[in-house]
Amino acid sequence: MQFRPNITKTEEIKQIAMADAALTVAFAIALAGGIGRIGDAIFLLPMAFVAVTLSFVLHELMHKYVAQHYGAIAAFQTSKMGLIITLGTSLFGFLFGIPGATVIYTNSFTVKQNGVTSLAGPLTNFAVFAVFFVIFLLVPGHSYLNMLAALVMFISILLAFFNMLPIMPLDGSKVLRWSRKIYFSSMGVILALMGVAYYALSGSIKGMLIEIVFMLFIAVFFSMFYRNVL
């Protein structure tokens, strides 16, 4: 038996556009340092839009298309509470970004199919990172395009890392269940690319460890929220 999502194509586009907009605004505010630095947030907004659209939207769409390739029914759905949390946390200069996710409806996925579908999103982030890394190397330093490329690299690999944490319902838990070798290889690449992204964005990787610990905390909290513990 399969459960079909009660969502039309038009409604799905609206929902993913809403999530994209919310996450864009949230990233711009959080990167600026919170609501007290709204001028910096406005400056970052166009760059955040490009970065989030390429990193988040393509990530979710790839989950959907791979799931459909395996015969599942998949649709992106926003979370009203997730949108509030995403925007609300950004006001304080940090981000708990859970505006929505691709929901997959099937009763016939194998462990491998579930793992491949889950890995498809982070692999998309790798591709986005690679394209903008080339742009970052080719354009003059400290130019607007150079800053844009660095920000896209940063947000893309940050989303890949968060989603690959081995905690339900994140992608990493399903990839790890499928293949430990592929999981740890992927995480090794992500950590290396995170170092590159941090250096490209700030000239240092000092904040990387703090960011990793913070995202681990968020992921654990998210897992508890997902399981209705909190």
Active-site residue numbers?
Answer: 60
Structural element, H or E, at residue 84: helix 80-90
Integer Rg of the chain from CA: 17
Report d(CA 138, CA 38) in Å as an integer.
31
Torsion angle in degrees (nearest 10) through CA of 7, 228, 87, 128: -70
Q: Cα angle at 23 between 21 and 24, to 5 degrees?
A: 60
Q: Which residues contact 222 (CB under 8 A, 6 or more apart)?
A: 96, 98, 167, 170
**CA dist 97 to 81, 163, 189, Å?**
11, 11, 22
